[in-house]
Structure 1
Amino acid sequence: MRVGVGYSDNPDSAAAGAQAVRQALDQAGLDGCDLVLLFSTSRHDPQALRRAVAAAAGPRARIAGGWAVGALTNWDLGYAGDQVGLAVFRFDTTACDIVAEGDLAQGEEPVGRRIGEALAEAGVAADSPVLLLYDTVDRTRGAMRMLMATPLLAGIESALGGLPDVVGAGLAGDMLGTPGWQWTGDGLAERQALALLFSGGVRMDSVIMHGCQPCTGYYTVTRADAQTILEIDGRPALDVIGDIFAGAIAPEDYGFFLTLGVNMGDRWGDFDESAYVNRMCLKVDHKRGGLVMFEPDMVAGTRFQIMHRSLNLDYIAPRIEGLFRKLEGRRPVFALYIDCAGRAAGFAGIDAEDAAEVQRVVGDRVPLLGLYTGVEVGAVLGRPRALDWTGVFCLFSV
């Protein structure tokens, strides 16, 4: 398995696609490839970009991916502009099956079940590396609605009787809720979910990186409706959060800022970042006094803490280095960084880019491709879960 990565911020979609593919092929020493993993912002014409990538990658290449808020490689990083990032793959004894299903707008769980059934037919095992990519934006009913990973994963699990080694990304081409496009292997579609199943001796090790720590004790959700938390400890959710912040932060600013952490490990043990599922507030529901979250899993009975975001990036290097140490003689061939767009310095209002620290730590040891996402999927205590305000670093080896 040989991999190369490429990047362009050329506003011309055809030129950007050709430039990025040439860069990736040159890095890998290839004249063509079997698979292109492609991400671009919503500024690009998806058809023109696909045509250019296909022409440069060669007749065997399948193209999979979709829109993202931004992209990065070992040497380039950008978001909210004209970024294109991609990886080219040449398979020898290894392989990759692509499953594409939709329409997500009709229900995430049924789509997940169909993906699970297709993965079963393709021979998925408990330790099979699976990359899940899905559209997060639905405007078919007028106002924007978030498509969610939690029911999508539940559907996959129901079909398989368990979940394989899944990492993934909820795709969004910008921060404005523009309906997105996906490249599905052999075509172009909207409101899709894709699963890429790697086989033939490919292993994927991954680690989640929140950079968050709890700053309060535990609270309990006592009433919720779908993704909206209505009551906390028997009181309106907005009242409880308002008392905690003591007026320092207005409810209008909770969206994309307020982060709740659910500890899946020992509630009273030492803090363990890898045991937390972070949930970010999307907006507030003033009429009902509720918090609208990115996922619908904070149901009545869920215990959580308010999380504080760290501005110090020294937690990143040890976690990435830990994956390289786990290789045990295997050869690393590709690294993928799935990064919440809200963590980007330009959106978070900070100076340091967490993705730049990832670039520094990886160096030139392995080709690196990254994308900025709406939602991340990674393993918490061995179980794939939807995550917010998280970076998921994945290291593929043979």
Structure 2
Amino acid sequence: MKAIRVASVRHTHPDVAARQCRLRVGPEAPAMLLVFCGGKHDPVAMLAALRAEFGPVPIHGGSAAGVIGREGCGYGGFELGVLAIMDPGLVPRAVLTEALRRDEVAAGAELGAAVGAIASPDAAVMLLFDSVASRAPPLLHFASSIVEGFHDGFGNTPLQLFGGGLLTDMNLTGGWVFAGDRVLKHAAVALVFPPGVAVETVIMHGCRPISSFMEITRIQGAEVFELDGEPALTVIERMLGLPPGGVRGQELSLTVTLGQKLGDPYAPYQEGDYVNRLILRATPEAGSVTLFEPDFALGAQVQIMSRDNSLMLDSVRRGVAAMNAGLVGTDPLFALYIDCAGRASARSGAAIEEAELVTQGFAPEVPLLGFYSGVEVAQVGGGIGRSLDWTGVLAVLRRR
């Protein structure tokens, strides 16, 4: 019996979608389900449908802006992806917090401390969380704050942290979490895999530095006002050859990010060494740019990073090839592709779906499931887990 089975389908009715997944998984009883569900489905109805088909097994996961499977990729809102863990010896222990609404750093610390109490050294831990704090006004649960708190609570023990933020759609209008037998808002779940399971990740974004290192000399939250003592927007416009004051609104979002390189700043370029932050908007009156996350600090050394679709696609091809090569001589269990929703062709304008390069190029013998996320989490530069933007994280769970 295969230890892991996957299915991905698309149907408007939860009962039919769950039944189709059940037929593809097979009649044997799974020990746990990892589920990602399009945001147009009613989560309570979907949870009931899955439990009707699969029985009273724990179900973890949540909403997704889209689902990625061998059968195809979709983000219309009615997708359902199921990963069934058939071997009880591979089932992770689940730890939960419902405190994101109150304080994201504190909630992360609560979760990290609980994980630290049960995790083996260098444990593989999958972190999944509701990305949307409020629809009106539009507010996010900052992933960087959750991850920062998690590490504070967990401590300095080695850890293999990966995961992502859950959305209902690409407009960031909602999110929710499957937590065993419940559907929750403002929650995060950590799945702590047994000691015999490890995870390998490859980070794929394709953003490349087009500037030297610059110091953030004025910042407030996520709004960067100055780089090297000059208005941040002026510096970026000059680097891109744009006329001063010519950038309005969100025009920078599809062309550049701000990147922070971790580790040796003089080491050769490796995209897995960078944390990139999307630029949400420019404010010419203040000369500032606002980032997707508020974790860059005063004094941080950053670079302007070029972002385009050809770099993104080349990055995926290289990353998949590297992961395939790294699997030789190992015992992989399954792969999870956590893909920024902005990288889908409907958002990025890419001629092809970059996720299809993963499903078509990654080792066909390894069960694969993926979802479109709000934020991605992975180990950066060989260090601790960090939240990422505009990134695809290919994570392969394997036996140690």
Q: Same-fold call, TM > 0.5? A: yes
Q: Is the CA contact (8 Å cut-off) linking 2:130 and 2:141 kept in structure 1?
A: yes
Letter in structure 2 aligned against 1:272? Q
> 2:270 is matched with which residue?
272
Q: Deviations over 1:154-198 (max 9, x none)?
A: 222222212611001011111222121111112111011110111
- Structure 2 residue 189 is the aligned partner of structure 1 residue 194: yes
Aligned to 2:140: 146
Tell me the amino acid that sits aligned with residue 146 of structure 2. Answer: L
Q: In 2, distance between residues paired with 1:332 and 1:349?
A: 33
List alignment gaps of at least 5 residues for structure 1: none
* Corresponding residue number in structure 2 for 1:14: 15
Out of 240, 257, 260, the position equivalent to 1:259 is 257
Q: 1:353 to 1:187 in 2, by over 3 A?
A: same
CA contact (8 A) 2:12 2:78 kept: yes
Tell me the C-alpha RMSD between the 2 structures.
2.1
Alignment size in residue pairs: 391
Distance in 2 (alpha carbons) for counterparts of 1:73 and 1:333: 16
Q: Identity of counterpart residues, as a percentage? A: 33
TM-score, normalised with respect to structure 2: 0.91
Residue matched to 2:304? 306
| 2:172 equivalent in structure 1 | 177
- Structure-1 residue corresponding to 2:29: 32
**Residues in 2 aligned to 1:93 and 1:180: alpha-carbon distance in whole angstroms:** 30
SS at match of 2:171: coil
Q: Provide the rounded CA distance (Å) in 1 between the counterparts of 2:152 and 2:267.
A: 32
> Is 1:101–1:114's contact at 8 Å kept on the other side of the alignment?
yes
Q: 1:1-398 counterparts in 2 under 5 A?
A: 2-23=3-24, 25-26=25-26, 30-59=27-56, 61-122=57-118, 124-139=119-134, 142-162=136-156, 164-247=159-242, 250-252=247-249, 253-255=251-253, 257-285=255-283, 288-310=286-308, 311-312=310-311, 313-327=313-327, 329-382=329-382, 383-398=384-399
Q: 1:366-398 deviations in whole A, cap 9, x for unaligned? A: 110001111111111222111111111111112
SS of 1:183's partner is strand
TM-score w.r.t. the length of structure 1 is 0.92
Give 1:286 deviation, angstroms: 5.2
CA distance in 2, matches of 1:244, 1:120: 45
- Kept in 2, the 8 Å contact 1:71–1:79? The answer is yes
Contact kept in structure 2, 1:8 and 1:84, CA below 8 Å = yes
Could you tell me how far apart the structure 1 residues matched to 2:195 and 2:299 are?
A: 43
Is contact 2:247–2:284 with CA below 8 Å preserved after alignment? no
| Distance 1:296-1:126 versus aligned 2 partners, 3 A rule | farther
Deviations 1:62-120 (A, max 9, x none): 11111111111122211143222121111233331111112212111111111112112
Contact 2:31–2:88 (8 Å) recurs in 1? no
Paired residue secondary structure (1:254): helix
Q: Once the two structures are superposed, what CA deviation does each residue of 1:11-48 show, in whole Å capped at 9, x if it has no partner?
A: 2222222222332x13xxx5221211111221111011
Q: Tell whether the 8 Å contact from 2:236 to 2:304 is kept in structure 1 after alignment.
A: no
Q: Deviations over 1:251-271 (max 9, x none)?
A: 322245531111113323322
